[in-house]
Amino acid sequence: MAMTLNQADIDRAKRARNIIKASSSANTYDKSTVIKAIKDLLPSSKLLSQLKREFEAGEIILAENQQNHHLFIIVEGTVSQMKSGAGLNTAIDYQGAGDFIGLLSFQTGQTAFTTAKATTPVTTLAIDHKNFELFHTRYPEISKVIQGLIFSNLSDRYRRVVTLHVEVALLSKQLEQERNQLQNAIQALEKTRNALISQEKMATLGELTAGLAHEINNPASALFRSVDYLINSLPGLAERAAALPDNGLVRFFFEEGFKRRLDNSKLNREKQKKLADEYPELKRSVIRLLSEMSPAAFDKIKPFITSKHQEHFHLLLDVFQSGSFLESIKLSTARIEYLVKSLKSYSRQSGSEPEVADIRTGIKETLQILGSRLQDVQVETKLTEIPPVLCFIGELNQVWTNIIINACEAMNDKGKLFISCGKDEKNVWVRISDTGPGVPDLIKNRIFDSSFTTKTAGGDFGLGIGLAISKGVVEKHNGTVKVSDREGGGAEFLITLPAHTGKK
């Protein structure tokens, strides 16, 4: 053993032994004191020097699930203890000078429970079973100190485990609470989402009602006012007609009025100008009526214009006007009837059972209902023959409405809208595209998200979840909805729905 011991080392070793002795007799196992003593002993003790093992930072000292034959006492440096499991490597503890590595596996012979890895350069004393026995006999005081250390280490660990248990219990309690809160939050979100969806539905409804109001108001006004006029004028007309020499005239002018088609208003104005020059004594309202008459009717009424026949002249005018009002009533009633029909089938509440239907009808009705909104939009439809679909047609109408309104908004209500449909072996598809700015690639994925909108707050109607609802409805029908770019700009929505195969 080519080892020279200098005096200082020897002195230090002596002091160390004394310290160890003192602590073993006093049964006090202070880690740092003991390690300092061991460090002091190291240079002079051959045994200890043999046991010394050094590790680089990052080096594995003991790997998990390995057989372990050493008990490592860390003299210097830090070691991290890691446990792998559930797919991740968790650092569970850090050990420093005076701590042990592989204590349990060394004592019990089981494989190592954790992996020990040096995080700094580490100096250890690696004691195998042979040396452990040797210590016991040759250095009883050191052995005693080590055992004391082991004991204190174990009790430390035990204490920590207990604390951990408590912590875990606390944590899980907290977790439980948080989980409950989360659940509430999710419930609230769910509610909000439902509310939003129904608001969107209301907004769509609002749009529809406003459109309808205009569509119906116009014919209703005309209807209402025409009836008003007739109520006032008809009773008198009957009496006055009796005074007319040729009763055929009344019928003629009534029919003329009924057949009246309003000219281009510009042409009409020119006609009126001419008439006004020709008959300066006539009132403007009379001139207007005359201008609306067919040449044949005008020829017949002309002889009556002279003041001699004022009575008859005005009677014929009134008859003509009554006819025209009746025509107005007829037209208006037809318009209202048609609108109401469309509305009825459009909003057909889906029952609990889906029905086999031609989705093209729904598309046509939707276009009808949205008429006022689409005034400046050129709609090109190409609805070819397609098989029926088992569906809730009312809900699908909502889909068409949402996508069309979305397109209109994107185009600022001016542009073209293309709607076509077709089929492949199993599915029918509907393609709705517009000439708007299109959907940027970035947001193509998000456009069907319920929180997504490009509409600014305030001004625009709706909440921007129309497309999300549409997606939901389509998916409920086992279909898909996709957005892509239309050739030549604009967005294109493709809705695919499974065709009805014949079995319910």
Partner 1 sequence: MPTNRRRRGKSKSAFPKWTKTAVGLGLGIIGFCIPLLFTFTGLSFAGHLALGIFLMAAVFWMFEPIPIYSTSMLVIFLQIVLLSTQGPLFQGSQLPETFAEPVGEQTWSLPAEAVDGDQIFLKKSPTRSEELSIEVIERNDQVIFFSTEITAETPVVAQYKHKLVQYEPVSYTRFFNTLASPIIILFLGGFMLAAGAVKYNLDKNLTNVLLKPFGTKPMFIVLGLMLVTAVLSAFMSNTATTAMMMTVAIPIAMQVAKEDKFRIMLALCIPIAANIGGMATPIGTPPNAIVISALNQQGLGIAFGSWMALMVPLALLLLLLAWGTMRVIFPPTVDSFKLALKSSFDKSYKAIMLYAIFGLTVLLWVTEAQHGIPSGMIAFLPIAGLTVTSVLSKDDVRSLPWEVLWLVAGGIALGISMENTGLAIWLVSSISWEMLPQFMLLLVFGFVALMLSNFLSNTVTATLLIPLAISMGTAGIGGEGFNLIITSLLIGSACNMAMLLPISTPPNAIAMSTGFIKTADMVKVGIVIGIFGLLTALTMALIYWPFLI
Partner 2 sequence: MSDIYILCVEDEPEVLDVVVRDLADLEDVFPIEMAVSAEEAREIIQEMKERGDKLGLAICDHVMPGEKGVELLIDMQNDEFTRRTRKLLLTGQAGLEDTVEALNKAKLNRYIAKPWDPAELLQIAIDELTTFVIEHEKDLLRYMGVLDIKRIQEVIREKGSFSDS
402 binds, among partner 2, partner 1, none (CB under 5 to 8 A by kind): none
Of the pair 191, 330, the CB lying nearest partner 2 is at: 330
For residue 281, the partner it binds in partner 1, partner 2, none, with Cβ less than 5 to 8 A by kind, is partner 1
Q: Which stretch binds partner 1 (CB under 8 A): 130-138, 232-240, 278-286, 405-413?
A: 278-286
Q: According to the binding rule CB under 8 A, does residue 385 interact with partner 1?
A: no
CB of 280 to partner 1, least distance (A): 4
Verify binding: residue 56, partner 1, rule CB under 8 A: no
Q: CA–CA separation, 43 vs 50, rounded Å? A: 10
- CB-based contact 491:485 (threshold 8 Å): yes
CA 356-362-365 angle, 5° bins: 150
Instruction: Report the distance separating Cα 405 and Cα 470, nearest Å.
Output: 12
The minimum distance between CB 304 and partner 1, in angstroms, equals 17
With CB cut-offs between 5 and 8 Å by kind, which of partner 2, partner 1, none does residue 154 bind? none
Encoded tokens for 125: 């004393």
Contact 117, 56 (CB under 8 A): no
Please, what is the minimum distance in Å from the beta carbon of residue 284 to partner 1? 8
To partner 1, the closest distance from the beta carbon of 269 in angstroms equals 18
By C-beta, is 281 or 424 nearer to partner 1?
281
**Partner in contact with 299, chosen from partner 1, partner 2, none, beta carbon below 5 to 8 Å by kind:** none
- Supply the minimum distance, in Å, between the C-beta of residue 411 and partner 2: 16
Residue 248 sits in the site that holds partner 1 (CB under 8 A): no
- Rounded to the nearest 5 percent, the helix, strand and coil shares of the chain are 55, 15, 25
Site for partner 1 in 60-99 (CB under 8 A): none
Cβ atoms of 73 and 142 within 8 Å: the answer is no
**Of residues 143 and 324, the one with the C-beta less far from partner 2:** 324
User: Residue 130 or residue 283: which is nearer to partner 1 going by CB?
Assistant: 283
Report the distance separating Cα 13 and Cα 159, nearest Å.
34
Asked whether the beta carbons of 496 and 429 are under 8 A apart, the reply is yes
The binding track of 103-142 with respect to partner 1, each residue x by CB under 8 A or -, is ----------------------------------------
Give me 470's structure tokens.
């549409």
Closest CA to 95 of 111, 115, 114, 74: 74
Q: Which does 220 bind (CB under 5 to 8 A by kind): partner 1, partner 2, none?
A: partner 2
Complex with partner 1: residue 220 or 276, whichever CB lies closer: 276
Of 328 and 342, which has the nearer Cβ to partner 2? 328
Spell out the SS3 assignment of 378-441: EEEEEECCCCCEEECHHHHHHHHHHHHHHHHHHCCCCEEEEEEEEECCCEEEEEEEECCCCCCH
User: Under the rule (CB under 8 A), what is the footprint of partner 2?
Assistant: 210-211, 213-214, 216-222, 224-226, 228-229, 262, 265-266, 268-269, 283-285, 288, 324, 328, 331-332, 372, 375-376, 459
In the complex, the smallest distance separating the C-beta of residue 371 from partner 2, rounded to whole angstroms, is 10
**Cα–Cα dist 459/203, whole Å:** 13
195 token code pair: 């509310």
Does 281 contact partner 1 by CB under 8 A?
yes
DSSP H helical ranges for 121-264: 129-138, 140-242, 248-259
Q: Is 283 in the site for partner 1 (CB under 8 A)?
A: yes
Is residue 232 near partner 1 by the rule CB under 8 A?
Answer: no
Contact assessment for residue 420 and residue 431, using Cβ atoms and an 8 Å cutoff: yes
Q: How many residues bind partner 1 (CB under 8 A)?
A: 5
SS3 374: coil
Distance spanning both ends of the chain, measured CA to CA: 97
Burial of 469 (0-12, 13-18, 19+ CB in 10 A): buried
Tell me which residues in 284-343 interact with partner 1 (CB under 8 A): 284
For tokens 């065709």, the residue is 499
- Which region, judged by CB under 8 A, interacts with partner 1, from 277-285, 354-362, 398-406, 489-497? 277-285
The 8-class DSSP code of residue 29 comes to -
Shortest Å, Cβ 286 to partner 2 = 10
Q: Which does 275 bind (CB under 5 to 8 A by kind): partner 2, partner 1, none?
A: none
CA distance 181 to 462: 30
Contacting residues toward partner 1, per CB under 8 A: 280-284
